[in-house]
Amino acid sequence: MTNQVKIFDTTLRDGEQALPASLSAKEKLQIALALERLGVDVIEAGFPVSSPGDFQSVQMIAREIKNSTVCGLSRAVKGDIDACGQALGVAEQFRIHTFLATSEIHVNAKLRKSQDEIVEMAVAAVKHARRYTDDVEFSCEDAGRTHIDYLCRMVEQAIKAGATTVNIPDTVGYTTPTEFGDIINNLFNRVPNIDQAIISVHCHNDLGLATANSLAAIENGARQVECTINGIGERAGNSSLEEIAMILQTRREMLGLETNIQSKEISRTSKLVSQLCNMPVQANKAIVGANAFSHSSGIHQDGVLKAQNTYEIMTPESVGINKNNLNLTSRSGRHVIKHRLTELGYNLEDYNLEDVYQQFLALADTKGTVYDYDLEALLFFDQQKHEAAHFKLLYLQANSGHEIIPSATVKLQVGDEEVTRTSTGNGPVDAAYEAIMQILGHQDVEVVDFKLDSKGEGADALAQVSVIAEYKGRRFHGLGLATDIVEAGVNALIYVLNNTHIADQIDQQKIQQERVAGV
């Protein structure tokens, strides 16, 4: 049996399902590129049949990703599989992942079919998927609660039909590590053709056991783990990619297993996913939490100073966490900025140096000293600004104070036009938002969540605003960054508006395609 464990990342599919607002196609691509750089073997990019936007984003990712296998999810339905094949067909290599529930409770209560009918559906789905690709994965949904005899039968028939990977999900996070490990062990002992496929696992964290169950499965022969960055996902989430990767790396001598994960990319990928998905990472989260490498106990601090491995089983540097530096001021040149970003792990193709440098100078004039976390924040925001921007902020002035009615003047570029409006509100941000809504003609955009955080440390930290807005029954997330809170809030709303504009374009394209097709 191979000692290589494949990492299958489903942040963009299972993880995205749990988000408070949808990601744009560009945001999904940005995460996919980060996952590719991280060394993920398989990227589950989405569920193509679910919406025109998801189809387009999966296709975009399939076209751009070269070093990872791009995967699409489908139910065991011909139309779903066809959508996967069409979206993924532009990729150099791709996988179709089809699934069907197998537990008695799902078969009887949800599908209302016999076990024989379920087997027939699974076999037909796998065979249909093989028309598009030789790389087909079949999942036995709710395998953790499926009778072992029936599960063995399903796995055998799926492999016989052509599945090259068979996934055993603990869909509702019900099993314990010993129990789940026994399920995998039984499959290897009882399924005669199991050597013809890779056995995968997909564990949920409802009882806090997702990573433990995944590890138990690996120890019993599973060679693919389905997981997400920061453990995001349905309900309590999925097994965390960073935990699985660092367990296998840190305990390599005991387990004798390897992955292709480039561990120094973990911290950066975690931050990117947290930012784009508007899902903060809890401070005591393993590997990537703010306190993961902090020591408050005097005994612990003394031990770490004398020998780092007294209380640290891995180094911060091993997952890409670097110490903050204080050497960047308005006198720093472009070459210094480029050098610092290279040290932080960013390649020149990741950003526009001139744009970042100009933003850096403006920030340095305001703050004096620019820290590494400021530089990364500028880089992140620069990447977002390069979305196709229908709306651009040209001018902003806000006034507020004691016994003064807050007001704001906003000038936006809307397509090829420049529009200015002035309004009042119950605060400067509210006044600015009202002015923007007037520019939009009070378009049906409703801000339902507004969060303000500091990006960095101290009184001169950058303001980061996170906004969630509802538009046509969907939720959109936007981020804004600036030294001024009002400007950060306006940037966040403009970010949302550009995403709603893109969504409208996708919907219009779909309507036009259906008209041409005579639907």
- 19 φ/ψ sector (left φ>0, alpha ψ -120 to 50, else beta): beta
Contact status, residue 359 vs residue 458, Cβ threshold 8 Å: no
Average pLDDT value for residue range 67-75: 98
Whether the model pTM is above 0.75: yes
Contact status, residue 108 vs residue 66, Cβ threshold 8 Å: no
Q: Using the predicted structure, report yes or no on whether residue 384 has a pLDDT greater than 70.
A: no
Q: Using the predicted structure, report yes or no on whether residue 485 has a pLDDT greater than 70.
A: yes
Convert the pLDDT of each residue in 308-319 to its tens digit: 566 578 888 899
Convert the pLDDT of each residue in 326-337 to its tens digit: 457 777 888 888
Q: Considering only 129-143, 289-303, 352-366, which range has the smallest mean pLDDT?
A: 289-303
Q: What is the DSSP letter of 145?
A: G
- Residue-level pLDDT at 249: 97
List all residues 6 or more positions away from 469 whose beta carbon is below 8 Å from its beta carbon: 21, 445, 446, 447, 448, 475, 476, 478, 493, 496, 500
Axis-axis angle for helices 25-38, 52-64 (nearest 10): 40
Q: Strand 94-101 relative to strand 136-141: parallel, antiparallel, unpaired?
A: parallel
> How far apart, in whole angstroms, are the C-alpha atoms of residue 30 and residue 384?
9
- Residue-level pLDDT at 380: 66
Average pLDDT value for residue range 93-101: 96
Q: Considering only 134-138, 281-285, 336-340, 432-436, which range has the smallest mean pLDDT?
A: 336-340
3-state SS class at 136: strand
Q: Higher confidence at residue 107 or residue 44?
A: 44
Q: How many Cα atoms occupy the beta-carbon half-sphere of 452 within 13 Å?
A: 13
Convert the pLDDT of each residue in 211-225 to its tens digit: 999 999 999 999 999
User: Among 249, 213, 216, 254, which residue's Cα sits nearest to residue 231?
Assistant: 213
- Residue-level pLDDT at 326: 46
Convert the pLDDT of each residue in 427-480 to its tens digit: 999 999 999 999 998 678 999 999 998 876 666 677 889 899 999 888 888 888
- Residue-level pLDDT at 365: 77
- Residue-level pLDDT at 339: 81
Q: Using the predicted structure, report yes or no on whether residue 300 has a pLDDT greater than 50.
A: no
- 296 φ/ψ sector (left φ>0, alpha ψ -120 to 50, else beta): alpha
Task: Name the strand (E) or helix (H) holding 273.
Answer: helix 266-277
> How far apart, in whole angstroms, are the C-alpha atoms of residue 83 and residue 88?
8
User: Among 476, 469, 464, 461, which residue's Cα sits nearest to residue 506?
Assistant: 476
Convert the pLDDT of each residue in 176-229 to its tens digit: 999 999 999 999 999 999 999 999 999 999 999 999 999 999 999 999 999 999
